[in-house]
Chain A
Amino acid sequence: MDKLLHSVYLDSEKCLGCTTCLRNCPTGAIRVRDGKAIIIESKCIDCGECIRVCPHHAKLAKTDPLSKISQFKYKVAIPAPSILGQFKPKYSVAEVLSALKALGFDEVVEVAYGAEVVGRALKYEFHAKRYPKPLISSACPAVVKLIQVRFPELTDNICRLKSPMALTARLVRKRLRDQKGFKNGEVGVFFITPCAAKATMVNNPSSSEYDSYGHIDGAIAMKDIFSDLHRQLGHCELDEDIVNSTAEGFSWAISGGESRYLKNKNVLHVDGIQNVINVLEEIECGKLESIEFFEGLACIGGCVGGCLTVENNYVAKMYIEERAKCLKETSIVHMSEEYVKEIYNSGMMHIKERILPRSPEPLDQDINKAIEKMKKIEAIEERLPRLDCGSCGAPGCRALAEDIVIGKAREIDCVFVLKDRLLELSELTNELLQLAQPTGKNNEEKGEAKNESK
Chain B
Amino acid sequence: MTYELKFDVERGDFETAGLASRKIKKTLQQLGINNKTIRQVSIAGYEGEMNLAIHSDGGYISLMVLDGELVLVIEDTGPGIPDIALAMQEGYSTAGDEVREMGFGAGMGLPNMRNNSDAFEINSEPGVGTRIEMHFNTKT
Contact = CB atoms under 8 A, between A and B. Distances in A.
B31 A153 contact: no
B65 A286 contact: no
B129 interface: no
Interface residues of B, number: 27
A67 interface: no
Contact of B32 (A282, A285, A364, A372): A364
Contact of B29 (A282, A287, A362, A372): A362
B117 interface: no
Residue of B3, B27, B38 ringed by the most chain A CB atoms within 10 A = B3
Contacts of B112: 286
B32 A375 contact: no
A263 to B, nearest CB: 24
A287 B112 CA distance: 11
Given A281-B18, A357-B35, A286 B30 contact: no
Given A362-B29, A363-B30, A374-B30, A287 B46 contact: yes
Interface string A102-144: 0000000000000000000000000000000000000000000
Contacts of B33: 367
Residue from B32, B38, B46 having most chain A Cβ neighbours under 10 A:
B32
A367 B31 contact: yes
Contacts of B18: 281-282, 285
B36 A287 contact: no
Contact of A284 (B30, B39, B47): B39
Interface in A350-373: 357, 359-360, 362-365, 367-368, 370-372
Contact of A362 (B22, B31, B46, B138): B31
Given A284-B42, A285-B21, A286-B46, A359 B29 contact: yes
Given A285-B18, A286-B46, A374 B31 contact: yes
Given A281-B18, A367-B67, A153 B38 contact: yes
Given A285-B46, A371-B3, A362 B32 contact: yes
Nearest to B41: A285
Nearest to B49: A285
B85 interface: no
A365 B31 CA distance: 8
A368 B36 CA distance: 20
Nearest to B50: A287
A370 B30 contact: yes
Interface in B20-62: 21-22, 25, 27, 29-33, 35-36, 38-39, 42-43, 45-47
A152 interface: yes
A363 B21 CA distance: 20
Interface string A394-409: 0000000010000000
A371 B43 contact: no
Task: With a 10 A CB-CB cut-off, give which of B25, B33, B36, B45 has the most chain A CB atoms.
Answer: B25
Contacts of B25: 284
A249 to B, nearest CB: 34
A360 B29 contact: yes
Interface string A198-215: 000000000000000000
Contacts of A357: 35
A153 B25 CA distance: 11
Nearest to A155: B35
Contacts of A282: 18
A153 B39 contact: yes
Contact of B35 (A281, A286, A359, A365): A359
A365 B30 CA distance: 10
A370 B36 contact: no
Nearest to A402: B30
Contact of B36 (A153, A362, A367, A372): A153
A375 B65 CA distance: 12
Interface string A285-304: 11100000000000000000
Nearest to A361: B32
Nearest to A372: B1
Contacts of A365: 32
Contacts of A364: 32
A286 B31 CA distance: 22
A307 to B, nearest CB: 27
A402 B21 CA distance: 20
Contacts of B35: 152-153, 357, 359
Interface in B73-119: 103, 112
Contacts of B39: 153, 284
B2 A371 contact: yes
Interface string A367-393: 110111011000000000000000000
Contacts of B31: 362-363, 367, 370-371, 374
A373 to B, nearest CB: 8
Given A363-B32, A402-B30, 7 more contacts: A286-B46, A362-B29, A370-B30, A370-B32, A371-B3, A371-B31, A375-B3
14 contacts: A153-B38, A285-B21, A285-B46, A286-B47, A286-B112, A357-B35, A363-B30, A363-B31, A367-B138, A370-B30, A370-B31, A371-B1, A371-B2, A372-B1
4 closest A-B pairs by CB: A362-B32, A285-B46, A153-B39, A286-B43
